[in-house]
A and B are shown apart, each in its own frame.
Chain A
Amino acid sequence: MRFSVYRYNPDADAKPYMQDYDIALQPTDVMLLDALVRLKETDDSLSFRRSCREGVWGSDAININGRNGLACITRVAELKEPVVLKPLPGQPVIRDLIVDMSQFFNQYHAAKPYLINNDPIPERERLQAPEDRDKLNGLYECILCGCCSTQCPSFWWNPDKFMGPAALLWAYRFITDSRDQATGERLDDLEDPYKLFRCHTIMNCTEVCPKGLNPTKAIGHIRELLVKRVT
C-alpha cells in the first residue's frame, strides 16, 4: 500500500517535504495506526503520537487524505491511495505528524473547564435528576483530540482569540450542568466579538468529530442563552 507522509525534522531539514512509502500490510493491520506502526518499523525516524489504539485518548489525531481523524479508528482498507498523511492543519509542527497543541489547550483552559459551586460541601453526593444528567451526554465524551478546532477556518485565522469548537463545547458542558452555579460568569466571559462569535457555523467540527459529537449545536445553545439574557 502506498502512503505519502509529511516529513519535517527541525534538526535536519530546512523545510518540510512529502515522503512516499510502499509497504506490504499484514492481515492484522486493520487500522491506519497499525499501518503507521508498521511504517515506523522500517523507518524509526517517522514520528507521530499514539497511545490507546481504541479511540478514547485522542493522541493520534492527524490529517488523513485532507480530513482530520484518529488513526487508530480509521480503517486503512477504506482509504484512497496514496494515503496522504499530514499533521493537524494550522498548528505549529514540532516534527513530522506531531504538532504543538498549546493554543488548543490554552483555549480549553480558558473555558474554565471545571465545576464551580460555592455552596457548602454536602456530606453526600449533590443530587441531579436523570434528565439533567442526560443534558451532559454528547458533551462530556470529548477526548480533546483537536480534530474539530484544527479543521475550523475561524480557528486557523484567530487561534489566540476564537476559542474554537472544542473549548466552546466544554464551556457549554459546564453551563448546562445543573450542579454548576457560574452560568452568568461563564456567559460574561464569552460576551466578546471573537471568543464565541467567530463561529460562522461552517460545521467542519461536527463533520470530523471522531466521537460523533456536535460542537456547532453546543455553540448554538450558548448563543441562544446570550440572546435570551439581553432580551
Chain B
Amino acid sequence: MTPPIRRFDAIVVGAGGAGLRAALQLSEAGLKTAVVSKVFPTRSHTVAAQGGIGAALGNMGEDHWLWHMYDTVKGSDYLGDQDAIEFLCRTAPEVVIELEHYGLPFDRNDNGTVYQRPFGGHSANFGEKPVQRSCCAADRTGHAMLHTLYQRNVWAKTQFFTEWMALDLIRDPSGQVLGVIALEMETGEVSILHSRATIFATGGAGRIYASSTNAFINTGDGLGMAARAGIPLEDMEFWQFHPTGVAGAGVLITEGVRGEGGFLLNKNGERFMERYAPNMKDLASRDVVARAMATEIKEGRGCGEHGDYVLLKLDHLGEERIEKRLPGIREIAKKFANVDPVRDPIPVVPTAHYQMGGIPTNYHGEVVAPKGSNPEAPVPGFYAAGECACASVHGANRLGTNSLTDLVVFGREAANSVIEFLQENPGHKDLPGDAADRTLARLARLDGQKNGERVADVAAELRRTMQAHCGVFRFPDLLAAGVQKIKRVAERVARTEIKDKSKVFNTARVEALELDNLIEVATASMVSAAARQESRGAHDRSDFPKRDDVNWLKHTLYFKEQYRLEYKPVHLKPLSVEPFEPKARTY
C-alpha cells in the first residue's frame, strides 16, 4: 500500500535556527516549501542557546574575520576544513546584521550598536588576548534568535508541518534524494512528502549520553535517516562536553558567565584554569576546560561530599550585572542547583553538549559522499545544515557561539544551493515504487512485536554505555568493550515493543522510532572513536595522548553497512587566504 503523496519544490526537515533560516530563503524565493518539525518551531533546541552568536563586527574594539577564522581553525584542533571555516567567518557579520534587521533584540552599547561579550577560544590578533565577539541578547540569544526567525517566517507565510516526524529518506536508484516519509503525530498517518530538493536541519543527538544538556527531542533523526539510506556520517567520534552543566541536572550554564568574568574553583578554592591555560585561563577552548575540570575531579580536588563537581563563581560580578547580562542563568541556578549565584557559586560538571560530526557536506550545504575516486561527490537533491551537518567548520572541537553562526550561515547557503539546483532541474523525478516499503515494514515490526523489551530500558542502556565508554577521557579497553556492547544494544533496539498501539498522538511510538535513530548515532560514534588512534580536540585517548598529524589529520567516514570506516583528507586550503598550518595548541 502506498501512502498518500504530497508534492513540494523543497522540503526542510527541522525548524531550529538552520531550518528556519533555510525556509525563509526558500519562501522568499517563491518556492513551494514545506517545513517538517517534530515540535512547534519555537520549541526547537536552538532556543536553549544562551551566550551569543560569533561574528567579527568589531563593535567593542578592533576585530577581523581572519582572527575569527584563526581561532576557529585552532579551536578545531586543525581538523576543520579551512575553506568552510573561511566562508563561516567571512559571512558571519552579514548574517548577524540580517538577524538584527529581522528584529532580534540584541543587547546594545551606549552608541546603539550590538553589544558583544568575550567567549572561550575567541581572541584578538591570532591568540594574543581575549576579544569581545559574541553578539548576545542577555543570556537568551538562542531564544531571541529562534523566535525572530520563526516570526520572520510567519511574515513570509512559510508552510509548516508541525508535529510531523520525518522517518526515512527517499532515494531513487541513481541515489538522488526525492523527499521523505513522514508521520503526522496527531493522526498517526504516514505520508510521502515528494520534493525536488530536501534540506536536513534536524539538529544533534546529545541524547545518546546519560548526562546531557540536550532536550529530549535531540535524537539524531536526520543522522539515523541518512545512515539508513547509505549515506556516511563524518567525524562522529568528536562530541563536545560543555564545561558547565549543572551538577546532577545537566542543564546548561553558558560560557558567557566566564565571558562576563566568572571563573572555576576546585575544592581548595584555587582558580585552577590558570595552571592549564595561563593566557586564556577560564576562556580557553571547551575541550581544554572540560578536560581540566575532569582532571581536577579525578585527582581528588573536586568539591562536595563525593568530590564530583567543581564550582563556578560569579558573585563578584555583582547583582546588577548578573541581572542585566545573565538573568536566565540566575533563574536556572536557583531552580536546578538551589543556589542564588549572586551569593553562592554554582556546582558544575562537564556535560555532553554538541556533536561536531554529522552528515558530510561541502561549504555550500550540499551533502557529499564518496563516489568512484571522488571522496566528496554531491548527493543530488540532498542538503544539510546546522548541528546535523558536518561542513566541517568545528573539526574536533567547536568554539562557543560558532554553533549559532553555523546555523544561519549554512542554513541560508544550503537554501541558496537548492534555489540554484531547482533552476537547473525542473520538475519532480519519479518516485520509486517501493519508496515507503522499508519504513512501513519498520512500523509494522514495531506494532507486531511480541515479548519485546521496553523502549525506555533499551534507551537507558544505550545512554549508560555511551557515558561509560565514550566520555571526556577515552581508554582502549573501554572503547573496544563499548563497540561490542553497543552492537548488542542495537540487536535489542530491533526487538523493542510498545504496549500502546493507538494512532492518535502516540508518543510511545515516536520514542521507539527515535531510538532507531539514536542507535545509529551511538554506534557510529563508538566505532569511529575506537578506530581513531590519537588525541585531538574533544577526542582524548589514554593510549595515544598526542595529536598525530602524520597519520590522523583526516576525516572519518562511518557507513552503517558492516560498520565500515573510510577516511578523507582535511581541506587545508582556504578560499582566499593563506592556510593556517597545524601547530601545537596552547591557550
Binding site for B on A (CB under 8 A): 9-12, 28, 30, 40-41, 43-45, 47-59, 73, 94-96, 98, 101, 105, 109, 113-115, 117, 121-130, 132-133, 136, 140-141, 143-144, 174, 177, 179-180
8 A-B pairs with CB atoms under 8 Å apart are A41-B454, A57-B48, A114-B154, A115-B151, A124-B97, A130-B112, A141-B140, A177-B105
Contact A140-B154, Cβ < 8 Å, known A56-B48, A59-B43, A129-B112: no
Cα separation A177 to B465 with both chains bound (whole Å): 49
Contact of A54 among B101, B144, B332 (CB under 8 A): B332
Q: In angstroms, how far is the closest chain A Cβ from the Cβ of B155?
A: 4
Given contacts A128-B112, A141-B140, contact A52 B154 (CB under 8 A): no
Contact at B110–A130, with CB atoms within 8 Å? yes
For A128, what are the chain B residues with a Cβ–Cβ distance below 8 Å? 108, 112
The proximity string for B residues 107-144 relative to A, scoring 1 for CB distances below 8 Å and 0 otherwise, is 11111111000000000000000000000010010011
A12 CA / B336 CA spacing, docked (Å): 38
What is the total number of residues of chain B having a CB less than 8 Å from a CB of chain A?
59
Q: How far is the CA of A107 from the CA of B107 in the complex (A)?
A: 28
**Contact for A136 among B105, B143, B336, B504, CB less than 8 A:** B105
Most-contacted residue by chain B among A57, A73, A180 (CB, 10 A): A57
Of the candidates A54, A96, A125, A130, the one whose C-beta lies within 8 Å of that of B48 is: A54
Asked if A133 meets B105 with Cβ closer than 8 Å, knowing A51-B43, A73-B335, the reply is yes
By the criterion CB–CB under 8 Å, are A127 and B217 in contact?
no
Given A52-B47, A136-B105, A140-B147, answer yes or no on A44-B504 (Cβ-Cβ < 8 Å). Answer: no
Q: How many angstroms from the CA of A49 to the CA of B217 in the assembled complex?
A: 11
Once the chains bind, are B47 and A57 in contact (CB under 8 Å)? yes
CB of A21, distance to nearest CB on chain B (Å)? 15
Shortest distance in angstroms between A126's beta carbon and chain B's nearest beta carbon? 7
Which of chain A's residues have a CB closer than 8 A to the CB of B43? 51-52, 57-59
Which residues does chain A contribute within 8 Å of B106, judged by CB atoms?
A: 125, 133
Known: A58-B43, A113-B151, A140-B147. 19 other contacts (CB 8 A): A11-B502, A30-B249, A30-B336, A40-B507, A45-B502, A51-B216, A53-B216, A55-B335, A57-B47, A114-B154, A123-B97, A124-B113, A125-B114, A128-B112, A129-B112, A130-B109, A132-B108, A141-B140, A141-B143
Q: With A54-B332, A59-B43 as known contacts, state yes or no: A47 contacts B505, CB within 8 Å.
A: yes
Q: Which A residues lie within 8 Å of B499 (CB)?
A: 43-45
Closest CB in chain B relative to A72 CB, distance in Å: 9
Q: Is B39 an interface residue (CB 8 A)?
A: yes
Please indicate which of the listed interface residues A44, A105, A177 has the most CB atoms of chain B within 10 Å of its own CB: A44
Complex alpha-carbon distance, A57 and B111, angstroms: 33
Task: Quote the shortest CB–CB distance from B313 to chain A (angstroms).
Answer: 22
Closest residue of chain B to A170, judged by CB?
A: B151
Distance from B324 Cβ to chain A, minimum over Cβ atoms (Å): 9
Q: Which residues of B contact A55 (CB under 8 A)?
A: 331-332, 335
Inter-chain contacts of A113 with B (CB < 8 A): 151, 154
Instruction: Give the nearest-CB partner of A133 in chain B.
Output: B108
Q: Is the CB of B143 within 8 A of A126?
A: no
In the assembled complex, the CB of A200 is this many whole angstroms from the nearest CB of chain B, namely 28
Across-interface contacts of B507 in A (CB, < 8 A) = 40, 47-48
Return A10 CB to nearest CB of chain B, in Å. Answer: 5
Q: What are the residues of chain A within 8 A of B455 when measuring CB–CB?
A: 44
Q: Ordered nearest first, which 7 A-B pairs have the shortest CB separation? A: A127-B112, A115-B103, A45-B500, A44-B508, A11-B502, A114-B151, A125-B100
A153 to B154, CA, bound (A): 28
DSSP majority for the A interface?
Answer: loop
The digit string for B299-334, where 1 denotes a CB below 8 A from any CB of A, is: 000000000000000000000000000001001100
Using CB atoms and an 8 Å cutoff, list the residues of chain B in contact with chain A: 39-40, 42-43, 45, 47-48, 57, 97, 100-103, 105-114, 137, 140, 143-144, 147, 151-152, 154-155, 186, 215-217, 248-249, 251-252, 328, 331-332, 335-336, 454-456, 498-500, 502-508, 511
Are B103 and A179 in contact (CB-based, < 8 A)?
yes
Chain B residues near A105: list those with CB within 8 A. Answer: 40
Partner of A115, one of B45, B102, B144, B216: B102
Residues of B within 8 A of A174 (CB): 103
Contacts of A28 in B (CB 8 A): 248
Taking CB atoms, residues of chain B closer than 8 Å to A126 are 100-101
CB distance from A151 to the nearest CB of B (A): 19
Q: How far is the CB of B35 from chain A (nearest CB, A)?
A: 15
* Cα(A127)–Cα(B143), bound, Å: 21
The answer to whether A56 touches B504, judged by C-beta atoms less than 8 angstroms apart, is no
Query: A51-B216, A51-B217, A95-B504 are contacts. A140–B137 as well, Cβ < 8 Å?
Result: yes
Q: Which residue of A lies closest to B112 (CB)?
A: A127
CA distance A55 to B102 in the complex (A): 25
Q: Once bound together, how far apart are the Cα atoms of A136 and B39, in whole Å?
A: 26
The minimal Cβ–Cβ distance linking A159 to chain B, given in whole angstroms, is: 18
In the assembled complex, the Cα of A53 lies from the Cα of B216 at a distance in Å of 8
- The interface centre, meaning the residue of B106, B114, B147 with most chain A CB atoms within 10 A of its CB, is B147
Given the complex, which residues of B lie within 8 Å of A95, measured CB to CB? Answer: 504-505
Contact indicator A101/B103 (Cβ below 8 Å): no
Can you name the residue of chain B whose Cβ is closest to the Cβ of A179?
B103
Q: With A and B bound together, what is the CA distance between A127 and B109 in angstroms?
A: 9
